[in-house]
Structure 1
Amino acid sequence: MESKFSFFITLLVLQYLTVVCVSQDFDFFYFVQQWPGSYCDSDKNSCCYPTTGKPAADFGIHGLWPNYNDGSYPQNCDSSNPFDESKISDLISNMSTNWPTLACPSSSGETFWSHEWDKHGTCSESVFDQHGYFETALGLKQQTNLLQALQTAGINPGGRTQSLENIKDAIKQGTGHTPWIECNQDSSKNSQLYQVYLCVDNSGSNIIECPVFPKGGKCGSEIEFPPF
């Protein structure tokens, strides 16, 4: 009887450990920032300023996304822990500035942030609670400062065509790591700088070289950096 009981307890422990391992089963994060001028000057997106007003002409956070080394990713991992704005009340002002929404209709940003937490943040619960997830992303934006890196290299928004390699080199010089650049198209079908991906280790602590780059949104060798 004792042997059967011990076996049962062992089985429960193994099941628990399996659940914990699964919840931690991602390899790295993509930290994604977008240029608002390209979001708004797109042949696909309609653009509405948030209810807090027009955002600054700076890169804004899109998200912090758990990913696997094979390029796939987990999503919508825990429906029992939905976004709760009260848990990040002290971050709202910072998020309105650095993580603004440009989707229509105009809103405060809560719908955008809720989507990012529910789809991506819940898959990182082994590392972060809600507050930690958003706080970490805000810290990464300050750490990377993409616009400053580009401007230091003499690359400024304004619609001029820029070399893709020069943009990559400027961001690598500024952050210490190789970015992935995603482009979209303006209404005239010109390729333009849209999103910048950097990779972060699975603790959310350190920027790393990306184990794998995304496959979509490829750019030409010359791209536009539109004003906002």
Structure 2
Amino acid sequence: MVAAAVVEQCCVPGGVLGSTNTEEFDFFFFVLQWPGSYCDTKNHCCYPKSGKPAADFGIHGLWPNYNDGSYPSNCNPDNSFDKSEISDLLSSLEKGWPTLACPSGDGVKFWTHEWEKHGTCSESQLDLHDYFETALKLKNQANLLQTLKDAGIKPDDEFYDMESIKDAIKGGIGYEVGIECNHDASGNSQLYQVFICVDKSGTEFVECTTMPRGRCASKVQFPSF
């Protein structure tokens, strides 16, 4: 995926765009991305103005989805992103939801895109503040990096069985997840994004009814960052 400022990892792989004017949806995809894989491509990355992010999975987005694999988008153009409404969350967002797009930014462009494209489609459940706060809580709840480390899977540039990665995450959160891989300049398949399904309230992990097509090899690299 292109590391551009506005289209920064925007879509469900293989997903189909649904209606643009509905707030009804079936579940959320909560998407976490590994920064080492985002940066280890020909597009490279730029660290945010706050500095290099922690070597941890960062939030990509919280995306309303339909059970058939399609998703709503840009549901309310009148409800624009307002930084002042999440002033109490900014420090946590810089750490947990950092931008890696070039040129370096403060995250606002990324968060604006995610809210206006995806967040506005969750307004029946979450307002702007709730949307970002919910994503931060889900990140802590998933505790993805520690779950993998507990299973002996570490970001050390080594290759790991994809099934072992999936089993480790399922053991940690209780449900199957979708995994998307990218490829570095040498063509290595890398662990890139993890799609966790969440109920409409944004509080509970649930079983996925559809999965992204992740294009992963049977063994994938977990690059350092």
Separation in 2, partners of 1:205, 1:142: 12
Post-superposition offset of 1:214: 1.3
Q: How does 1:113-152 map to 2 (within 5 A)?
A: 113-152=111-150
Q: Which residue of 2 aligns with 1:36?
A: 35
Q: Aligned letter for 1:226?
A: P
Aligned residues: 205
Say whether 1:218 aligns with 2:200.
Answer: no
Separation in 1, partners of 2:175, 2:61: 18
**Greater fraction of residues in helix:** 1
Contact map agreement 2:40 2:184 (CA 8 A) in 1: yes
Q: Which residue of 2 aligns with 1:101?
A: 99
Q: Deviations over 1:166-197 (max 9, x none)?
A: 00011111111111110000011110000000
Unaligned runs of 5+ in 2: 1-20
Q: Deviations over 1:87-114 (max 9, x none)?
A: 0000000000000000000000000000
Contact map agreement 1:23 1:126 (CA 8 A) in 2: no
Q: Which residue of 2 aligns with 1:164?
A: 162
SS in 1 for 2:121: helix
Q: Aligned letter for 1:173?
A: G
Q: Which residue of 2 aligns with 1:206?
A: 204
Q: Deviations over 1:55-96 (max 9, x none)?
A: 000000000000000000000000001100000000000000
Q: Which residue of 2 aligns with 1:186?
A: 184
Separation in 2, partners of 1:226, 1:204: 30
Bigger Rg, which one:
1
Separation in 2, partners of 1:143, 1:200: 11
Post-superposition offset of 1:150: 0.3
Post-superposition offset of 1:221: 0.4
Unaligned runs of 5+ in 1: 1-21
Contact map agreement 1:23 1:124 (CA 8 A) in 2: no
Q: Which runs of 4+ in 1 moved over 4 A?
A: none
Q: Which residue of 1 aligns with 2:58?
A: 60
Query: What TM-score results when the alignment is normalised by the length of structure 1?
Result: 0.88
Q: Which residue of 2 aligns with 1:25?
A: 24
Separation in 2, partners of 1:191, 1:106: 26
Separation in 1, partners of 2:93, 2:24: 28
SS in 2 for 1:183: strand
Post-superposition offset of 1:46: 2.6
Percent identity between matched residues is 63
